[in-house]
Structure 1
Amino acid sequence: MNRGQISVWQMALLLFQMVLGSSILLMPSITTRLSGRDMWMTPIVVIGVGYLAVWLAWRLHRLSPDGTFHTLLENVFGKMVGKTLGLLFIVFQLHILSFVVRDYGEFIVLNFFFKTPVVVVIGMMLALCVWALRAGIEVLARIGQLFVPLITFITILIFALLIPELDPGKVMPLLERGFEPVFKGSLVVGGWFCQLFLMVYLLPNVKDSRTALKWGMWAATGIGAVMLVTNLALLMLLGESTSHYVYPVYTAARYIAIADFFEHVESMIMMVWVLGEFIKIGIHLYAVSIGLAQCLQLKKTDALIVPLGLLLLLFSFRLVPGFQTLAVFVSTTGTIYILTGYLLFPLFVYAGTRVRKAMGGRVRLGD
């Protein structure tokens, strides 16, 4: 599964879609609930979290003796402590991924396949991800290269068709309740941006990692731009009632009707969601599989992908009993939990590398 090389352009596309895969549908409702009509500012306020996550991933990759994150943990903290931290980080990622998988299944069943058991929807997606990942990361990168531009085009098209329905007056007044609500909404958005740290698992397979930092920053910038456009469009269309819809983008697509023949474009939302979530789940599952293989020092990493897929199917039901649990987690404690794992933990590791180097190079690190 660790076979193949990908370009920095392919890496950027994968990171771009990994974050937008679920944020586009879920984020506007949550941020409107927290920030009101100032929700459109949240990506601007917190985009620095994305830049920091990308920089941390690139820097820790450069500091590792062999370019892998879990090897760095063992070199900085010792074999026993390093392996323990690595396994805890993998468990954390599995927990987050179970929420991502359940979110995908709930959206499809609640809006399209009403009579289909959610276990069938989730099982088919996981089977597809496992099949693609067993062929190597290069396959997932080529799928991203093929479909991410299409997904982005469809998303832009949907918002372009909504322009006649938009009312810019709904954006005013600015900062009506001060900056505190914007900060609260920004924390939630930061929970998506910090997932860019998973770039650390892609970097060992990037052909020219020297330019990876620049492309990672461009991916973060693109994510922020799409989030900004999405928030503004929904605010000008639905106003503060955006918070009353679970998936406001899906609701907005129902407003599109041109000349009585171009209607029901919400089916395009399903296509965007399925393709986007396939890439998002694929990258997360790849990171878990590679990380576990590095901790266990396995040579054949693809042997783990099928058991992990089955384990994830079980976790998506045991850890996330229903949609209500998912919604509460994302909008409350889940944000701090995600920021701790994908941002504070990497910062802690980076601080550890600085301390080790200051102690006179007792541990072999990269540049």
Structure 2
Amino acid sequence: MHDPGKISGLQMVYLLINVVGATALVFLPGFTASIVGRDDWVTPVLATLPGFYVILVITALGRRFPDRTIVQYIEKLLGPWLGKIIAFFYVLFFLHVNGVIVREFGELVAATIMPQTPQVVFAALMVAVCSYGLHQGLEVIARVMELAYPMMLILFGLILILVSGHMELANLFPMLQHDFKTIIRASLNPIAWRNEVFLLGMFFPYLARPDLARRNGIIAVAVIGLILTVNALACTAVFGVSTGRFNFATFELVRLAGFGTFLTRLDAIWIVIWIVGIFGKVALFHYAAIMGTVQLLRLKDHRTVIVPLSILLIALSLSQFKNLTEMMAWINGPWIPYAYLFEMGIPTFLLLLAFLREKPALKRNPSK
């Protein structure tokens, strides 16, 4: 099998931050504000705790199976038949979710700067670039994100500075005016997105320092929580309860930041850098689908499945939803239990099963 290379600790942190932040930063403020209004900043804070839990579960599994991905140790734990079935569903999950991500990319670009361009153009270009990168290996994707992500964070900080003059602290008050049940309901979507860090289970064997995976994963989840909380506070301080009316609240914030300054096209700069972030997220999910297929079918080289899976990914991105409204309804509805099952439920069951299998082995070998 083709060697994907090794991923450093810093690259791992950037990959995990980006796999959540690339889409959550754009969509979540509007989603959560539509339910809890100015209390939307609470939801990314609450979502951080399940994110920590998923990292603990995935790294615990990774330590028990350091040379295997989640697709491989599923077969080991569940047996050849049931294991292959569940592993196959994981490959479908990676493909299906990535189709939604590609469509999210296309819908945002179409809604903001290129409304007349067909969705197939956005999907084909993004998937083609990601496929080319994966043909070179996962390490190439990691290096791109290591170079690009600091620029994305710097730009985000610049946007906050430029928009600070439009912020009204009065828009943030009164705080916590919604009951706990409503806030929890609004947090379900942020938790589903935060738990995408479970993708670490697909590249754990390729970490240069797997012993630091848990620490780096916790850092990544904490940074994601900080970024999303600050973003939610900024959107609410500027737009107030009207944040819930925007599908792309962060993009509206960027437009406002560039208005009346020498950076009149800040929105275009942000779109370009954001596209790099989406590239990293799509590439990582596509890598998971490709490597999962290779490992499931016992193929020798991942390059043999890149083209057919890329065509299937483009088709999925175009066929799932008729329009942006349908996509938003799916993300706010069926996506939540679907994500919980694959990102949290099954990994938890696998860890429990691995633990139960270890106990008889320890009794037979008490010296270990």
Q: TM-score, normalised by structure 2?
A: 0.95
Alignment of 1:215-254 (within 5 A): 215-254=216-255
Distance (Å, rounded) in 2 between the aligned partners of 1:2 and 1:222: 30
Deviations 1:312-344 (A, max 9, x none): 001112223321221001112211211111111
Task: In structure 1, give the amino acid aligned to 2:337.
Answer: I
Distance (Å, rounded) in 2 between the aligned partners of 1:258 and 1:235: 18
- Tell me whether 254-263 or 2-11 shows the greater mean CA deviation: 254-263
Q: Give 1:272 deviation, angstroms.
A: 2.8
Distance (Å, rounded) in 2 between the aligned partners of 1:234 and 1:136: 38
Q: Cα distance 1:78–1:248, how it changes in 2: closer, same or farther (>3 A)?
A: same
Partner of 1:261: 262
Contact 1:158 1:253 in 2 (8 A): yes
Task: In structure 1, give the amino acid aligned to 2:95.
Answer: L
Partner of 1:6: 7
Q: Percent identity?
A: 26
Partner of 2:84: 83
Q: Give 1:103 deviation, angstroms.
A: 0.7
Contact 1:63 1:72 in 2 (8 A): no
Distance (Å, rounded) in 2 between the aligned partners of 1:27 and 1:143: 25
Partner of 1:354: 355
Distance (Å, rounded) in 1 between the aligned partners of 2:337 and 2:102: 20
1:337 aligns to 2:338 (yes or no): yes
Task: In structure 1, give the amino acid aligned to 2:114.
Answer: F
Gaps of 5+ in 1: none
Distance (Å, rounded) in 1 between the aligned partners of 2:71 and 2:250: 38
Distance (Å, rounded) in 2 between the aligned partners of 1:234 and 1:65: 42
| RMSD (Å) for aligned C-alpha atoms | 1.7
Q: Cα distance 1:139–1:257, how it changes in 2: closer, same or farther (>3 A)?
A: closer
Alignment of 1:114-153 (within 5 A): 114-153=115-154
Partner of 2:106: 105
Distance (Å, rounded) in 2 between the aligned partners of 1:203 and 1:257: 40
Alignment of 1:62-73 (within 5 A): 62-64=63-65, 66-73=67-74
- Tell me whether 250-259 or 233-242 shows the greater mean CA deviation: 250-259
Number of residue pairs aligned between Structure 1 and Structure 2: 363
Distance (Å, rounded) in 1 between the aligned partners of 2:26 and 2:229: 13
Partner of 1:56: 57
Task: In structure 2, give the amino acid aligned to 1:133.
Answer: L
Q: Cα distance 1:175–1:136, how it changes in 2: closer, same or farther (>3 A)?
A: same
- Tell me whether 138-147 or 268-277 shows the greater mean CA deviation: 268-277
Partner of 2:271: 270
Distance (Å, rounded) in 2 between the aligned partners of 1:155 and 1:103: 20
Partner of 1:96: 97
Distance (Å, rounded) in 1 between the aligned partners of 2:54 and 2:273: 26
Q: Give 1:146 deviation, angstroms.
A: 0.6
Distance (Å, rounded) in 2 between the aligned partners of 1:2 and 1:320: 36
